[in-house]
A and B are shown apart, each in its own frame.
Chain A
Amino acid sequence: MRFVSLFQFRLAVLNVMALAFLALTTSAVRAVDIQTIVSDKGIKALLVEDYTVPLIALSFSFKGGSTQDAKGYEGTAQLLTTMLDEGAGDIPSQKLQEILEDNGMSYSFNSGFDRFSGSIKTLKTSADEAFKLTALMINKPRFDAEPIERMKAAQFNRLKAQETNPQAIASKAWNEAVFQKHPYARPSQGTFETLKTLDGKALEDYRKRVFARDNLVVGVVGAINPDELKAVLDKVFGDLPEKAQLSPVPEATFESGEDIHIEFATPQTNIRVAMPGIKRDDPDFYTAYLVNYVLGGGSFSSRLYSEVREKRGLAYGVYSYLGTYDSAGIVGAGTATRNERTKQTLDVILAEIARMAKEGPTPEELEKAKKYIIGSYAIANLDTSSKIAGVLVAIQEANLGIDYIDKRADYIRAVTIEDAKRVAAKLLSAKPTVITVGQKGS
């Protein structure tokens, strides 16, 4: 319980990394029996039936996310994630919380740059009621004044806490430096200013524009058959508007090369590095993914891990990643080290990036990366219903096709060492933007 905050602390940094990871996880090794289900009202879902455990996991996402926050109302989508269970239909906030708790379902709503998403997990025995409640939360949230004020008060405190959290400071600076005037640079968590203006009208306006059928994808896993699922899909999503009204999001352009230092009195400096990357639909995506694995994506075996942590003891964690968004691609890297070792650590990271740009991975490194990335799929993603449901959603979001799971290993195997060298050079030759948050000198 008390360490929940530790996870949140870490999550603040790794949002983007997680996105990259999700993009990867949509490829697979094991044949999973996926059915395409279309309900009477035309709602489509991918389904994996499995009766081993008496559970049903349903995940969904609407294209939208924080980019659809109205101007001056930044933080709407984020606030909405906390408001769907605070009263719906005729049921006020506290009563709804009790009903949800008594039902025993678990649920969460999340918002990223590009999508508003949700996950439901219910026991088979109480599934009817669970989906009825889900339908109510999605279609008829109340947005009463009391819970809105309460959620805003909690968000206010989170924003305050972020002011002195070195990782949050670095993330904010990173977003601003990388995305500049692009909608991704807008404060998706809201600001003290927008928290004043955000109200039920803003939430309902957002919900009406974004919660629709043409921007929806659904993945379901567990003890439910196709006919039962059709009924659930119609009940939960069937009455949403046919078309979402989304503001277009332009492509982001990023010219890296800035050096940004934010002075902050704390013992350990956070280091972030950013360069332009590629998007998920780029033909070089798999190659880039392999190159990144060798550089800093691989667990205990990446070059950054070996040079920064293993050989020199400079940091506890060090990573690089591909940030793939609908409208941007970024290569990022980061770590944290005691203030007096900041320069040394940064020099090592930049040297490794430059070496990878110049030489690419070795054939042995590339082979190892391929093995890891092919093999890791089932281990990382197929062992729980919720994870598989998440994969079914991700496959649809990235338009990978229902046979993608079978084909993915071939895409990875097809990458050659020449490809890897070419893409490493293309990807990692720009002068990176460097952000440091900590204490200089001392």
Chain B
Amino acid sequence: MRNIFLFIRRHFNLLFFLFLQVMSVYFIVDYSKYHHAAFGNISNNITGRVNGRYFEVQKYFYLKKTNDSLLKANEDLYNKLKSDFSIPDTATKLTVDSIRVDSLLQYRKFRYLSATVISNSVTANNNFIVLSRGSASGIKVGMGVVDPNNSVVGIVTEVNPKYSVVMSLLHKDSHISGKLLKGGETGTLNWDGETPNIITLMGIPKSAKIAKGDSIISSGFSTAFPKGMKIGRVEALYKEKSTNYFRVKFRTACNFYNLQYVYVIENADQDGVHDILEKVKTQP
């Protein structure tokens, strides 16, 4: 027993060093557990407040770009107005039918919540975005985030009453499913951590007809995003020799460098889908 104490005293520095290293690695690996702990919440509150102050100053430098992107989003919406489409037969008048013929009620499935980005990074290997709204405004873990032009940004991973943290597409653990607009083949997004704005799409079979410049959209298979949100455009194609799949490099539709305003998408069906998935998982 005495020898053990002597050993600890003699090698205290080395042991303390190893202890701190193991603790750090434990934090890295066990990130999901950490962020539910109270410490994560407190540190998020503090860093969130500092980031908020910084954003107040920084947002003035981006007003022009923000304006441009809002103009573009508005243009998109105007082009979808019903009054913009005329009917060949001039005798008919365009009316919106307010009486439903069938008894199936229409209901809202997706709801958009606007939020401002108060901190964002692109250069790290694992990038996160912090939004200025949290669970008090109805943001929940697992919701999808898009930019003003409906291009996918990421998924909410952490909320507290005031702020929420989004795992952006530029994160190694970010695996959202994407779909080719033309062919409809789906694959998984995967970021290699090298160039920001360039992401790889895995799992597209070699039989797919795909060319440079093709659009990639969200598949709608997950509850986070509606179908058809823009993800990116194909930049380069590689045939993997060992597998039957393409490795598709694409440029993201969303520019992560100057993200200022985003929309968080709430899915009314999310809980229902999760419940039924849980049921399937627990069945033997």
Q: Do A and B come from one complex?
A: no
